[in-house]
Amino acid sequence: MSLTKPGARGLQVESMALADIAATFGTPCYVYSRAALVAAYQAYRDSLQAHGLVDRSLICYAIKANSNLAILKLFADLGAGFDIVSGGELARVLAAGGKADRIVFSGVGKSREEMRLALEAGIHCFNVESASELAQLNAVAVELGRRAPVSLRVNPDVDARTHPYISTGLKTAKFGVAFDEAFDLYQRAATLPGLAIKGIDCHIGSQLLDPAPAAEAADKILGLVDRLAAAGIALDHIDLGGGMGIQYRADEPAPPAAYYLGPMLERLADRKESLVFEPGRSLVGNAGLLLTRVQVLKHGEAKHFAVVDAAMNDLMRPALYDAWHDIVKVGAGDTAAAAPMPYEIVGPVCESGDFLGHDRELALQEGDLLAILSAGAYGMAMASNYNSRPRAAEVMVDGAQAHLIRRRESVAELFALESVLP
Ligand SMILES: *Cc1c(COP(=O)(O)O)cnc(C)c1O
């Protein structure tokens, strides 16, 4: 399913022309489709349904992919839980109306304060990533007179075969507890008075398109669950993380959810434990785009540059991972024909790494609108104010309406927290 479709006034999202969104809210601007968000959640749910697992599954949206309150509220209303990695994310979920008892808390470096806040809120489970964190969480819980619900995030040592920056399940990763140490650590956790062992967790990486690594990880985790049960440590739930990949290029379709999840879900069909999943990118990535306007065309000796008003501070993935995003012309109100040529699509930031796309064959004029596709995940969430650039506005389209879900920052807000010496 493509997010944009041609209309009378150029490309549109649902029934809203992108040109109208740019005119109303300015550029750069993130645009999300409510219908596409719902469809992505539903596709995940349908795969669980197909394996008879939906009634004992909790889909915990990994909010670091995109933590706008409107998106969190939408998923909360659909029945989702949430996977958080900080106290800030906890506050966001609660502010959006998410239920604490549907939150799992991941991350390698939770502070004691974050542990305390999450315990007091009454979250579903802590995904504990080290022996030391286990001891610290126990101490915080004892101090509060509570028992912290815990899973160990176990590193199954499976190669997810994705970009090294988003591969998390190898022995060399900073994430999780080594597979060979997990059994002993569970036994130790069972002796700690501030902990209640609930489950097990693993998450091997992101933007995964091949179903085999996730299925292999599930096999290893299930084997460990059975060994633990035989030793008297019965787990209530199994959390198999997120990681399902999305389509970034028109010519490289991503497999459907059912294909990616199928082999993993087959292995869970006749288990009794309840299940947790932590999808992030796959619920939001293809449901958003970054709308930007061409400021300047610059024809150098070796390259043609289209300098647009979005930059690496708005969408960091190309600079960070050399990631590809399709870039298309919105095509509203173009009059004179421009000649197609290969453009470097770059932002105004003072870094040579500030590019959004290399070598894109486009017919451009200054003032044209471009849509940078598949930018709903790890786009706005990773945005910064580098070069004192206010972060972009965010808009959610619902049918023929566009709702502003985050207004553009003002320049004054950028330095409002700073002070000079007396
Ligand atoms: C980032 C993350 C996710 C979500 O990953 P996606 O690839 O966006 O689905 C899930 N669980 C944990 C622990 C994460 O860090």
18-62 pLDDT, tens digit per residue, is 999 999 999 999 999 999 999 999 999 999 999 999 999 999 999
Q: Is the pLDDT of residue 280 over 80?
A: yes
Q: Which one of 29, 60, 202, 350 is the catalytic residue? A: 350
pLDDT at 392 over 80: yes
User: Ligand 1 within 6 A of 83 CB?
Assistant: yes
pLDDT in the model for residue 334: 58
CB atoms within 10 A of CB 419: 7
Give the global pTM: 0.96
Which of 203, 281, 286 for mutating ligand 1's site (highest number of atoms within 8 Å of CB)?
203
Exposed, middle or buried by CB within 10 Å (0-12, 13-18, 19+), for 365? middle
CA distances in angstroms from 9 to 15, 17, 262, 340, 362, listed in the order given: 11, 6, 41, 21, 19
Q: pLDDT tens digits for 317-347?
A: 999 999 999 999 999 655 567 889 999 999 9
Query: Does ligand 1 have an atom closer than 6 angstroms to the CB of 153?
Result: no
Q: Is 106 in the pocket of ligand 1 (CB under 6 A)?
A: yes
Tell me the CA–centroid distance for residue 62 and ligand 1, in Å. Answer: 6
Average pLDDT score over residue span 114-135: 97
Q: pLDDT grade, residue 302 (50/70/90)?
A: very high
Q: Which atom of ligand 1 is closest in space to residue 207's alpha carbon?
A: 7
pLDDT of residue 72: 98
CB of residue 206 inside a 6 A radius of ligand 1: yes
Q: Does ligand 1 have an atom closer than 6 angstroms to the CB of 213?
A: no
331 lines ligand 1 (CB under 6 A): no
- pLDDT of res. 123: 98
Pocket flag, ligand 1, residue 64 (CB < 6 Å) = yes
Task: Decide if pLDDT at 159 tops 90.
Answer: no
Determine the pLDDT at residue 170: 67
Q: What integer is the mean pLDDT of 205-232?
A: 96
Q: Where in the chain is the domain with CATH 2.40.37.10?
A: 3-32+286-414
Which atom, in ligand 1's list, is nearest to the CA of 279?
Answer: 9
* Sign of the C-alpha dihedral computed for residues 94, 97, 103 and 109 taken in this order: negative
Please, what CATH class does the domain formed by 3-32+286-414 belong to? mainly beta
Is 60 a residue of the active site?
Answer: no
Nearest ligand 1 atom, CA 153:
13
Residue spans in the chain of domains classed CATH 3.20.20.10 = 34-280
Nearest atom (ligand 1) to Cα of 378: 8
What is the b/e burial string over 263-289, where b = at least 16 CB atoms within 10 angstroms of the residue's CB? bbbebbeeeebbbbbbbbbbbbbbbbb
Specify the CATH class of 34-280 in words: alpha beta
- Out of 44, 75, 83, mutate this one to test ligand 1's pocket (max ligand atoms within 8 Å of CB): namely 83
